[in-house]
Structure 1
Amino acid sequence: MERGQGRLALLLTYGFLCAAAFSILLPLALMLLNSLRSNFEIYMDPIGLPDPPDWGVYARAWEDGGLGQAFLNSLRISGLTILAVCTTASMAAWALARRSVPGWMTISLYFLATTTIPIQLFLFPLFFLFAKLGLINHWSAVVLVYTAIYTPFSLFLLRTYVLAIPVELEEAARIDGAGEWAVFRRVVLPMLTPGLLTVALIVGLNSWNEFIIGITFLQHAEAATVVARFYQLSGRYQNDWPQMMAAATLIALPVVVFFILLQRRFIEGISSGAVKG
């Protein structure tokens, strides 16, 4: 009886996972297929196959949408955001895990509270502040905002990894004459690699796909991110569905590849951080 119930539970679990995977992959498959078809074919049969496929639509979408410069903008913003978050969060996590910081609980509650506040409430004050500083349409404004948004979560995650590092390793390095910076760089940082990869993946995906902040502070076409350019493309080519689907496929491709390359590290980092926390 118990073995039969276990098999039923396993079948239900796999059935649910297959249904979830199908619901996620179906829109991606339709996006790819419809990018290779004509408008007439899409209107006649939205879920049909391309006959024949038009691969030239990707070149047209890349050129007409100005995706080349937008890709460079998004890569720069995402890369610098990952670097800034990993740097600040790792050092802060080490300090908070190893030092007796007065008011740590208050700081924790503050970070947790700020993560629940919608970013839209800060857009107007930040816009006027950056306008006075001359940072509108400059990538540094978006990087600063992204860093402030993603640092609290990254700090809490990395702190769990620091707590799992034996203090004896750091003490041994200090006995050998290493300073605090050398201890962090040579002992702590290498052992934080799984957590840093997890943070890099989460921050990179979120900053690449983010729209509200990017469209608010980067209003010129030359400074726009890929998501903002796609929004402008959809307003410009309302009836050119193949071109819009091709642009969406090009924008989603780096995210999918990045996640596939780091998915094992991501799962290990999340599960390990949850156990250590």
Structure 2
Amino acid sequence: MAIHTDAPARERVHPGGSRRTPVSYLVLVLLALFAALPVLVMVFNSLKSNYEIGANPLGFPTSFEFANFVEAWVQGNMGRGLLNTVVVVSGTIAGTWLCAGPAAYAMARLDLPLRRGIENYLYFVISLPVQMFIVPLFFLWVQLGLIDTLFGLIVIYVALNTPFSVLLLRTFLIGIPRSLDEAARIDGASEWRVATRIVLPLSLPGFLTVGLLSGLGAYSELLFCVTFLSDPELFPVATAFLNFSQGYAQNYGLVNAAGVILLAPLVLLFLALQRRFISGLASSGVKG
């Protein structure tokens, strides 16, 4: 049989199943520019004086004001804020893992009664606006003595992140074959051993994704910080922006410099863990 060499070459197919076409590359470039340009403008403005920001808010800086970073660090008390943020973020991630992990395992791997009702309840909870809980929660925290404590703030963040984390982890755990559990139980393994020695190692990308999402949420949250904390020595770094107002005026050079300082750890963390983060999201989103 003759082979036609002039046949058009097949389009290259991505391992995920999508075709790589010039249109798809163009869309990706436009989306990348849409996401990167505001960050680039913030970096430019962090190197400008207030006068230059007003005269040239979107352009390249003509004079580099590196003193903005030093002044923002000192005036915003960002060193102390970063230490408080490390405590809050670490506590939120650990608490979310401890609360969401067993719940997701029970919903995904065990014959749990009323499983559908619990799942619908979690969907209902995550659809509620968090602002409606502030007033009753504030009076409850006063009675419990948790106002002006980082532990009280961590408990709030864990409660806010757990419902969505349970649903995300459950979707990920469903994709792990049940035959592995059954084989281990036949060999005499207890439920604890099945969970910790078999399911947990296979679900680490899911736990990493949940940890990153809950940690990022706690890192950038501001509303509950300023509501439940009044001691400046306990403020996380996200509240540093409140220190750059002078009456009704705003020092935009310091605001942008603080934004760059605040964004740098997130960018470095994402670049270091992007493969695991994206694979965890993809795995949890495809299965279930």
TM-score (norm 1): 0.89
Partner of 1:49: 60
- The CA distance in 2 between the partners of 1:232 and 1:239, in whole Å, is 10
Counterpart secondary structure, 1:13: helix
In the alignment, structure 1 segments of 5+ residues that lack a partner are none
Equivalent of 1:166 in 177, 184, 195: 177
Equivalent of 1:238 in 249, 259, 276: 249
Structure 2 residue 124 is matched with structure 1 residue 113: yes
- The CA distance in 1 between the partners of 2:49 and 2:187, in whole Å, is 69
Give the Å deviation of 1:188: 1.4
TM-score (norm 2): 0.86
Query: Considering only CA atoms, is the larger Rg found in Structure 1 or Structure 2?
Result: 2
Structure 2 residue 165 is matched with structure 1 residue 154: yes
Give the Å deviation of 1:115: 0.6
Partner of 2:150: 139
**Which stretch has the larger CA shift, 32-41 or 113-122?**
32-41
- The CA distance in 2 between the partners of 1:194 and 1:258, in whole Å, is 15
Give the Å deviation of 1:89: 1.3
Task: Spell out the pairing of 1:3-42 with structure 2 (5 A cutoff).
Answer: 10-42=21-53
Give the Å deviation of 1:174: 4.1
- The CA distance in 1 between the partners of 2:23 and 2:177, in whole Å, is 42
Structure 2 residue 71 is matched with structure 1 residue 60: yes
Partner of 2:211: 200
Equivalent of 1:220 in 231, 236, 240: 231
Give the aligned CA root-mean-square deviation in angstroms.
2.4
Give the Å deviation of 1:133: 0.9
- The CA distance in 1 between the partners of 2:35 and 2:285, in whole Å, is 26
Partner of 2:105: 94
Percent identity, aligned pairs only, is 39
- The CA distance in 2 between the partners of 1:189 and 1:131, in whole Å, is 38
Q: 1:16 to 1:216 in 2, by over 3 A?
A: same
- The CA distance in 2 between the partners of 1:90 and 1:26, in whole Å, is 37
Structure 2 residue 93 is matched with structure 1 residue 82: yes
Structure 2 residue 255 is matched with structure 1 residue 255: no
Count of aligned positions: 273
In the alignment, structure 2 segments of 5+ residues that lack a partner are 1-7, 13-19
1:104-136 deviation line (CA, Å, top 9, x unaligned): 221111111111110010000000000111111
**Which stretch has the larger CA shift, 264-273 or 113-122?**
264-273
